Structure formats: structure tokens, C-alpha cells
Structure 1
Amino acid sequence: MRHAIAILALAVSAPLVAASVQQLPGAPDASRVTAGTYTADSGHSLVGWRVDHFGFNSYFGIFGDVAGTLTLDPANPAAAKVDVTIPVSKVTTASAGLTDHLLRAGKDGGQPDFFGPNPADARFVSTSVTPNGNRARIAGNLTLNGQTRPVTLDAEFTGAGANPMNKKETVGFEATATIKRSEFGVNYAIPMVSDEVKLDITVAFEKN
């Protein structure tokens, strides 16, 4: 009798449990992507950076409010184009003193150690896309601190679907890259603070 009651209770509760499990609106399913032009969701797009500090450990910070566009056709992913800007002036670290150092003017009218108080936005413009399943290598030109150099991103398609807040079709990507800051004229404290900078990028794009 107890066994029968347990089975009945399970049968009644199972639909309720299933109903309580919500499905995520986004999934890495290319069939959800439609062709068109997408605009970066600045509130949910970040560029993280990481440098080695004195050979002891890594230190990292972020640039937020990434803006820009992605033109994408799932039938021809190699033709995709991306053009994004990164507001260097909005750099954030866990140390108020370091953040101030990144953005302060040079001493006695000299060049700033890093970016200075009014840095121009950085900009990445793709020149080619080489897809490989849900991943791609995106070659392009990065302009930073007045210098333009080629940079390649190792990117991954991470999700697509309708944003439940605004109903817009959304696609998400993550990417990594490594640059040398000396190539962009940011030379302060090399090699005590590494020349090599690792970038960790996450961007959501919403269809126009």
C-alpha cells in the first residue's frame, strides 16, 4: 500500500517539478541565428585585461560599455563583420589608486604613464573571419592609444535566442587575444609589469 501511495505522489509531483525548471532563453544553437545587423548590448559586454605584476601574480581589470555592430549571416559566417569601440576612459580596477594612475596626466606636462585623463576609445574592426563550427578566428585591426596594429581573436559562439526583457533577437560571443602594449605606445614599467596583455572578451549583440 505504501509503495502504491509513493508512486501516486511521484506521478502527481513530477509535472510540478518540471514546470518549475525554466529553460534559458539563449543556447549555442546556430539555427536560432537570423541574418542581419546586430548592435552591441553595452550593458552586458566587457573586455577584461590581465598583466603579470613583478613576476609574482597576475593583475586584471575591465573595460565596460562596449559599443559597435556585428553583421552576420549564418549561411555564410565567413562574411561576418564586426566593428566595436571600447571606452578606455571607463577602465575599472579593484584599486582606486591604480585606476587613477591609468588615467592621470603625465607629470610636469610629460606623457602619461598609461592612457592619460582623456584617452580616445579603442576600436577593433575585423578584416576576415575563419569559422570552425561554433568557433572562429577573427582577424582585424585594433586601434589603441593612437596606434593601429593587427590582432586576431579566438572567438566562440556562446548563445542565441530572444532576450526575455526586450524581446530582441540576441547572439553572444566570447573571445580571447594577446597583445603587446608596447606596440601601442604604452611602455610604462616594462618588464616589471608585463608587456604581454591577455584579453578576455564577452559581448552580446541585439538585432536591429
Structure 2
Amino acid sequence: MRRIAPIAALLIAAAAVPAVIAQPPASPPGTPDRSRVTAGTYAADPNHTMVVWEVDHLGFSNYTGIFGSVTGTLVLDPKNPAASKVDVTIPVAKVTTASAGLTAHLLREGKDGGKPDFFGPAPADARFVSTSVVVDEDGDEAKVAGNLTLNGVTKPVTLDVDFHGAGAMNGGKPTVGFEAETTIKRSDFGVSMGIPFVSDEVELKIHAAFEKQ
């Protein structure tokens, strides 16, 4: 009985406390519903915004890397989407790849004081500033033209943008998300090492989330 009593007491105590089972949300907070987009100024979520780049390597495979920690602003007005503006900064120094050796190569100094093969050890941030926004009839795709500054060179670039979703993030902040694609020539920005063995054309895929301020 002495052994059974403590066990019984634990069972009684457990029964007295209501069981709390965490229930997952019924659906994600963001949905592809344009009516949920509200006007205002949004800030890029640096933890969930990235630029994925892809080049052809020796004709055998495509190789990808990521620029993360993107910051900047997006000004939206659903009633006048053509007036939307985006200004984002991409820290090139934080580039990452699947190979530690290649990542180091992208950021290493030039040999014997020469020009670096790629960006060098202290590259300036890249920046994209929009100049125009043209939205399609359905309202969920757009051509966003702007100026991209990379490696100290500024060139016009047009992004093909798809609306991904809108809703409220944790804490109630309205959030919007987009996907975008474009192709640039790295030689236009003074990054010519390895061409044509490593392709001059670089495909960029942008995954962007913005929180309303």
C-alpha cells in the first residue's frame, strides 16, 4: 500500500489538470488573396528575403548561391499599384554557397595585389531601386523595372514579379510576399572570371517578404 499510494496520488493530480494539446493553425497566415493587401510602407524581412543566383558550371550542371539578409522598403497602394516603389539593399559580403572554398573564392583578395576574381574581401552592398511598375490585367503579376547597382556598376534591370501571398504575421503585422525572376550578365557588372566555362548569364530568383511598418 505504501508503494501504491504515491502512484495513486500522481494519477489523481494529473487528472485534476486539464490536458492542453497544441493545435496547429488551420491554414498558413498568408494566402494568395490580393484583397488582404493594405496600403502603406513595408520593410523587407531580412530573415525571409533572399536572392538566389544560378550559373552554368562547365556545361555539366547549374550551380547556385544565395544573397541573404536583404533590407529595404516597399511602398504599396492596391488602388494604384503602378505607384508602388521598392528600394532594397543586398549585402554581397554575406554571400553563401554549398562550398566553403567557393564562398571564400568569391570574397578573396586578388593575387599579388591584382584585381579579385569575383567580389573581393570588402564588396559594397548591391542595391535595386525601382523606376516603374506595370501590373497585368489579373493584378497578380508585374514587370518591375529599376536600376541594379552591383560591384560598383549600375545597370537597368527588369524583374518579372508574381504575387505570392498576404496576411498577418505573428504579432499581427500585415505581411506581403512576392517571387521575382530576372537574368543578368555578370560581365556587365565587371565580374568576368571564368567566362565561358562559368556562364556569363546569371539567373536571379528573388523570394521576398515585407512587413508593414
Report how many residues are paired.
Answer: 189
Is residue 98 from structure 1 mapped to residue 102 from structure 2 by the alignment?
Answer: yes
Secondary structure (helix, strand or coil) at the match of 2:31 reads coil
Q: Deviations over 1:74-131 (max 9, x none)?
A: 0000110000000000000000000000000000111100000000000000000000
State the AA in 2 paired with 1:157: F
Is residue 34 from structure 1 mapped to residue 33 from structure 2 by the alignment?
Answer: no
The alpha carbon displacement at 1:178 in A equals 0.1
The alpha carbon displacement at 1:48 in A equals 0.1
Secondary structure (helix, strand or coil) at the match of 2:146 reads strand
Write the distance in 1 (CA, Å) between the matches of 2:28 and 2:97.
31
Q: 1:129-168 alignment to 2 at 5 Å?
A: 129-132=133-136, 133-163=139-169, 165-168=170-173
Gaps of 5+ in 1: 1-18
Is residue 117 from structure 1 mapped to residue 121 from structure 2 by the alignment?
Answer: yes
State the AA in 2 paired with 1:88: V
Corresponding residue for 1:81? 85
Write the distance in 1 (CA, Å) between the matches of 2:129 and 2:69.
17
State the AA in 1 paired with 2:142: A
Larger radius of gyration: 2
Write the distance in 1 (CA, Å) between the matches of 2:132 and 2:199.
29
Write the distance in 2 (CA, Å) between the matches of 1:168 and 1:100.
37
Write the distance in 2 (CA, Å) between the matches of 1:60 and 1:21.
33
TM-score w.r.t. the length of structure 1 is: 0.89
Q: 1:41-60 alignment to 2 at 5 Å?
A: 41-60=45-64
Corresponding residue for 1:195? 200
Secondary structure (helix, strand or coil) at the match of 1:183 reads helix
Write the distance in 2 (CA, Å) between the matches of 1:94 and 1:25.
31
Give percent identity, aligned residues only. Answer: 69
Write the distance in 1 (CA, Å) between the matches of 2:35 and 2:24.
26
State the AA in 1 paired with 2:130: S
Runs of 4+ in 1 over 6 A off after TM superposition: none
* Shift in CA distance, 193/74, structure 1 to aligned 2, threshold 3 Å: same
Q: Deviations over 1:115-161 (max 9, x none)?
A: 00000000000000000120000000000000000000000110000
Corresponding residue for 2:3? none
The alpha carbon displacement at 1:21 in A equals 6.5
The alpha carbon displacement at 1:166 in A equals 2.5
Q: Deviations over 1:45-68 (max 9, x none)?
A: 010000000111100000000100
The alpha carbon displacement at 1:44 in A equals 0.5
The alpha carbon displacement at 1:20 in A equals 6.6
Q: 1:8-23 alignment to 2 at 5 Å?
A: 22-23=26-27
Secondary structure (helix, strand or coil) at the match of 2:194 reads coil
Corresponding residue for 1:171? 176
Gaps of 5+ in 2: 1-22
TM-score w.r.t. the length of structure 2 is: 0.87
